[in-house]
Amino acid sequence: MSEPKSNERMEKIVSLCKRRGFIFQSSEIYGGINGFWDYGPLGAELKRNVKDYWWRSMTQRRDDVVGLEATIIMHPKIWEASGHTSTFSDPMVDCLLTKKRFRADQVDPQDGIIYFFTGGRDAATGKESPESYSVLLAAGKNPESARKVARQFYAARGVENAELQGERTEAVQGSTRYNPENGSLLTEPRPFNLMFKTYVGPVESEDNVAYLRPETAQAIFAQFSNVLAVARQKIPFGICQIGKAFRNEINPRNFIFRSREFEQMELEFFIKPDDAAAKSVNAGEPGTEPTWGWEQWHKYWVEERVKWYESIGLGRDVLDFHWQAKEELAHYARATVDILYKFPFGTQELEGIAARGNFDLSQHQKFSGKSMEYFDEETKSRFIPHVIEPSAGVDRLILALLCNAFNEEEVTDEKGNKETRVVLKFHPRIAPVKVGIFPLLKNKPELVKKALQVRDLLRDSMTVYYDDTGAIGRRYRRQDEAGTPYGVTIDFDTLGETPSLADTVTLRDRDTMKQERMAIADLLPFLLGKIR
RNA sequence: GCGAGCGUAGCUCAGUCUGGUAGAGCAUCACCUUGCCAAGGUGAACGUCGAGGGUUCGAAUCCCUUCGCUCGCUCCA
């Protein structure tokens, strides 16, 4: 079985994250807090690189996307319009026998006879349970099967072979209080609100309830008109945002994969409805973007996003794709593609690319009373734009990058001993530290001086890590675990011991462990070429 | 939220059954030594044994509560 192995791999990754300062548990000195994680020195750099690169790719390098940075707490009506207030607080019920959980509104109504019991008692041991319980039995079925379920219920409470107390029956129609699978009574419906609630202002009253946003998308819709008015953009165009979002998850799992406070990178790309696009002047010429319908735009963004993942080292071989079936789609979506990564704990979603129709803008128009219509000069038509939404989770992407980079290699040293080299093979674009700078020996001031000069030469352009402690091999390995793609060593040849090699250094490649000599003057252009 | 397992140094773990006041390896830091892949030597620092309470002359060890982590179920609009 590969199951224990993958857990072992995950444990090694979690351990490395802590040991090297990528990720710590939040509030650890107080025992931690479930579902919250902090990024340490290397993790903070890694995350910043990922977000910066996304931002550059999505907006700075494009003409048709602009940015937004909105607040986390917004007007509570936003969540009514989006549907979060109702759908994010489904009452849940649990089966008292099997503990299986249902959404209260999804329990099928049933008819039949309810068998009530006031308790169970074991005549042999004298043990008893005074808990009342009931079972719903479909009409015409054997009453013994209801009693059997009840005896299981009392057995689970420590009363074996219970004699059932106080049996009585009652016919019902359309009850949703019983588990359709076994007839057992369910718990009372309990609300599960996944939005974090707070109060704006000092008084905690129902009038000033507010929520921490459960997604960043709604802020973009809410500010659509303002951005449209100032950005000098014509549809199709997009608004993107990076920011924190909060969900009071019932059960956070898998390290930082599902946490209660997390960060999203979202684009809302606004397009013409298909009928408006069809009226465009270039209609009939395939591939002319203003005429594209939603399906073409949806495919376009899936492809763009996959290329982006490839450009930071997550190739198609480690990704997977899931085109959601009609019945899986959320209420707002016409189509959704999930981009998944093959994590050690299973293949899980990194990003969802949804075609949302005009659901969100229509809802905000309805709830706010403000028009969300766009006037298209070209076709002289007025419409509420439709939207394609690529929405990625930053933290789960970080986890995917860590899992993908994590390698344990068998290496043989000069004495023939085998040992394990742990190396994080990050793409240089996102690696937290780009280059390590090492004087071969610390106790030779000329080497140290020269090394510090090289450090200063590179430091303005990238993250560098200067290290002069211990043996050179140890320093290389230390940077391997941090995922630093290059190591530069200043040796006696750099100082001119071999005149032809003066002012050259060795450049060590993390992945191949090979070294080449390079002139100091060539370092900066070479490294910039790799990390941009 | 339910069930099971786990929580001892930065990391990996021993010690818990059978109460007597905490250990190993690795890592870290300093100095010495260094000539390119975790070399060697000397020394140092690091734990109220997840937290709180109880039993006891005495608790890492027994009991209760709680928090956290892992797995299964559930949930993931």
Distance B47 C1' – A34 CA (angstroms): 24
Distance, in Å, from the CA atom of A25 to the CA atom of A260, rounded to the nearest integer, reads 13
Look at residue A526 in the predicted model and tell me its pLDDT: 97
Model pTM greater than 0.80? yes
How far is it, in rounded angstroms, from Cα A293 to Cα A365?
23
Intra-chain end-to-end CA distance of chain A, in Å = 41
The answer to whether some atom of strand B lies closer than 7 Å to the beta carbon of A414 is yes
Is residue A302 within 8 A of residue A391, CB to CB? The reply is no
Query: Please, what is the Cα angle at A387 between A361 and A269, to 5 degrees?
Result: 115
Closest nucleotide over all strands to A333 (CA to C1'): B77
**Residue A176 binned pLDDT confidence (cut-offs 50, 70, 90):** confident
Closest among A159, A169, A152 to A120, alpha carbons compared? A159
Range of A4-13, A31-40, A125-134, A407-416 with top mean pLDDT: A31-40
> Residue A182: what pLDDT?
79
Q: Of residues 184 to 223 in chain A, which lie within 7 A of strand B by their beta carbon?
A: 192, 194, 214-215
Q: Report in angstroms the alpha-carbon separations of A25 from A8, A18, A20, A53, A300.
A: 19, 9, 13, 26, 38
Q: pLDDT grade, residue A5 (50/70/90)?
A: low
Q: Specify the 3-state DSSP secondary structure of A168.
A: strand
Q: Which residue is nearest to nucleotide B66 (CA to C1')?
A: A31
Domain residue spans of chain A? 6-88+197-402, 91-191, 433-531
Does residue A3 have a pLDDT over 50?
no
Distance of alpha carbon A347 from alpha carbon A321, whole angstroms? 10
Strand B lies under 7 A from the Cβ of residue A31: yes
Alpha helices in A369-501 (DSSP H): 394-405, 445-459, 472-482
Nucleotide nearest to A21 (CA to C1'): B10
Neighbour tally for A243: CB within 10 Å: 19
Give the residue from A20, A145, A2 showing the smallest Cα distance to A406: A20
The pair of structure tokens assigned to A21 is 């300062």
State how far Cα A416 lies from the chain centre. 43
Angstrom distance, A29 CA to B51 C1':
10
How do A464-466 and A435-439 pair as beta strands?
parallel
Angle between helices A394-405 and A3-20 (to 10 degrees): 100
What confidence tier does A417 reach under pLDDT thresholds 50, 70, 90? low
Is nucleic acid strand B under 7 Å from A163's C-beta? Answer: no
Average pLDDT over residues A220-240: 94
Asked whether strand B has any atom less than 7 Å from the CB of A393, the reply is no
Confirm whether any atom of chain B, the nucleic acid strand, is less than 7 Å from CB of A87.
yes
Gap between the Cα atoms of A303 and A236, Å rounded: 17
* Residue A205 pLDDT grade (very low, low, confident, very high; cuts 50, 70, 90): confident
Round to a whole number and report the distance in Å from the CA of A5 to the C1' of B64.
37
Q: Which helix (H) or strand (E) holds A192?
A: none
Encode pLDDT of A119-172 as tens digits. 888 777 777 777 778 888 887 788 888 888 888 777 776 677 778 888 888 888
Asked whether strand B has any atom less than 7 Å from the CB of A470, the reply is: yes
Q: Answer yes or no: is pLDDT of A433 > 50.
A: yes
Give distance CA A15 / C1' B12 (Å).
9
Distance CA A12 to C1' B49 in A: 23
**A293 CA – B38 C1', rounded, Å:** 58
**DSSP helix/strand/coil, A210:** strand
With contact defined as beta carbons under 8 Å apart, do A392 and A245 qualify?
Answer: no
SS3 A73: strand
* Domain A6-88+197-402 of CATH type 3.40.50.10890: no
The DSSP element (H or E) to which A106 belongs, if any, is none
pLDDT digits over A285-342, tens only?
666 677 888 999 999 999 999 999 999 999 999 999 988 887 777 777 889 999 999 8
Residue percentage of chain A with pLDDT more than 70 = 93
Question: Protein A296 CA to nucleic acid B74 C1', in Å?
Answer: 38
The listed range with the strongest mean pLDDT (A43-57, A93-107, A152-166, A342-356) is A43-57
In angstroms, what is the C-alpha Rg of chain A?
Answer: 30
Residue A477 Cβ under 7 A from any strand B atom = yes
Q: What average pLDDT does the structure give for chain A? A: 87
Q: How far is the CA of A99 from the C1' of B62 (A)?
A: 32
Reported as half-sphere exposure (CB side, CA atoms, 13 A), residue A258 has a value of 12
Distance, in Å, from the CA atom of A137 to the CA atom of A135, rounded to the nearest integer, reads: 6
d(Cα A268, Cα A218) in Å, to the nearest integer? 10
Cis peptide before A390 (omega within 30 of 0): no
Q: Which nucleotide is nearest to A190 (CA to C1')?
A: B1
What's the pLDDT score for residue A413? 63
ipTM of the prediction:
0.84
Whether nucleic acid strand B comes within 7 Å of the CB of A330, the answer is yes
Highest mean pLDDT among A65-74, A99-108, A329-338: A65-74
Question: Is strand B in 7 Å reach of the CB of A410?
Answer: no
- Answer whether CATH 3.40.50.800 is correct for domain A433-531: yes
pLDDT at A4: 43
**Through-space separation of residue A230 CA and nucleotide B13 C1' in angstroms:** 61
Q: With a cut of 80, say whether residue A2 has pLDDT above it.
A: no
> Within 7 Å: CB of A296 and strand B?
no
Q: What angle do CA A445, A446, A447 make, to 5 degrees?
A: 90
Token pair belonging to A270: 């606004």
Q: Is the CB of A406 under 7 A from strand B?
A: no
Measuring from the CA of residue A332 to each C1', which nucleotide is nearest?
B77
A183-197, A423-437, A508-522, range with the lowest pLDDT: A183-197
Per-residue pLDDT at A194 exceeds 50: yes
C-alpha–C-alpha distance, residues A51 and A401, integer Å? 13
pLDDT level of residue A262 (50, 70, 90 thresholds): very high
With contact defined as beta carbons under 8 Å apart, do A92 and A189 qualify?
yes
* CB-contacted nucleotides of strand B (7 Å): 1-3, 7, 10-12, 27-30, 32-39, 50-51, 67-77
pLDDT at A363: 94
* pLDDT at res. A397: 94
Assign 3-class secondary structure to A301-353. Answer: HHHHHHHHHHHCCCCCCCEEEEECCHHHCCCCCCEEEEEEEEECCEEEEEEEE
Nucleotide B3's nearest residue (CA vs C1') is: A99
Identify the band that residue A416 occupies on the pLDDT scale cut at 50, 70 and 90: low
Average pLDDT of span A250-261: 84
| Average pLDDT score over residue span A215-236 | 94
User: Looking at per-residue confidence, does A75 or A187 come out higher?
Assistant: A75
pLDDT digits (tens, 9 = 90+) for A82-94: 888 876 666 677 7
Contacts of A258 (CB under 8 A, 6+ apart): A35, A249, A252, A396
Report the C-alpha gap between A491 and A517 in whole angstroms.
Answer: 11
**Does the nearest atom of strand B lie within 7 Å of A518's Cβ?**
no
For A359-493, where are the alpha helices, taking DSSP H only? 359-368, 394-405, 445-459, 472-482
Kind of pairing between the strands at A261-271 and A386-393: antiparallel
